[in-house]
Amino acid sequence: MRIYEGSPRQDYEEVLRSIGAFIDQRGLNEILLAEAPDGFIVQGIVTTAQDTSAWSDPQMTITKETYTFLDEDIARFLEDSQARRRSGSANDGSTVAGAYERTMRVIGRYIDDQKPKDVFFFEQEGAYVLRLLMNTRQGSKHQLAEFTAADLESMVRQGPGLRGEQAGQPQPPQPAAPAE
């Protein structure tokens, strides 16, 4: 990601979390995300009910929406996401992160651990397939990873423990081990 170019850490966890909040807000599903040189491309399906007349059942309309988020958009998403978490409420008034925000956060954490040069992934029925461009001794090559819906649920449940939280509440700082 260009917004992190030159920094020691590429924070896909926070970036994907903030994009996940946008996805939740828009009601997208079956998403595809591709990293571009200047941001991300996100595509997903939106299902909406259409009233046809007073005498017929509503029909569902399925449309595909595509968004391009430039580095400036991502920076704004990150600021908005952090402000929302500090205030303790989401845009819809709830305090709970949406499904995509939680899922994309744990995928982002996995990606951060891998340290790829480029990211592409898609969702199919709650499972995700990732293609990461990795540096190897033989040069760059793609690596695939797959997460089932059950894998992701488990990763989301483990998240608070990894962050030093319990049941979503921050734990008090632990004293440092005495120096010998």
* Residues 140-157: tens digit of each pLDDT: 999 999 999 999 999 999
What is the pLDDT averaged over residues 89-116? 82
Specify whether the CB–CB gap between 122 and 128 falls below 8 A. Answer: yes
Q: What pLDDT, on the 0 to 100 scale, is given for residue 165?
A: 55
Query: What is the rounded (10 degree) CA torsion for 151, 152, 158, 163?
Result: 140
Specify whether the CB–CB gap between 118 and 135 falls below 8 A. Answer: no
Question: Within 10 A of 17 (CB to CB), how many other CB atoms are there?
Answer: 25
Q: What is the pTM of this model?
A: 0.76
Domains of the chain, by residue range, sit at 2-48+59-165
Task: Give the N- to C-terminal CA distance of the chain in Å, as an integer.
Answer: 41
Of 49, 52, 71, 73, give the one whose Cα is nearest residue 61: 49
What is the pLDDT averaged over residues 21-47? 94
Kindly tell me if the per-residue pLDDT of 123 is higher than 70. yes
CA dist., res. 120 & res. 103, Å (int): 15
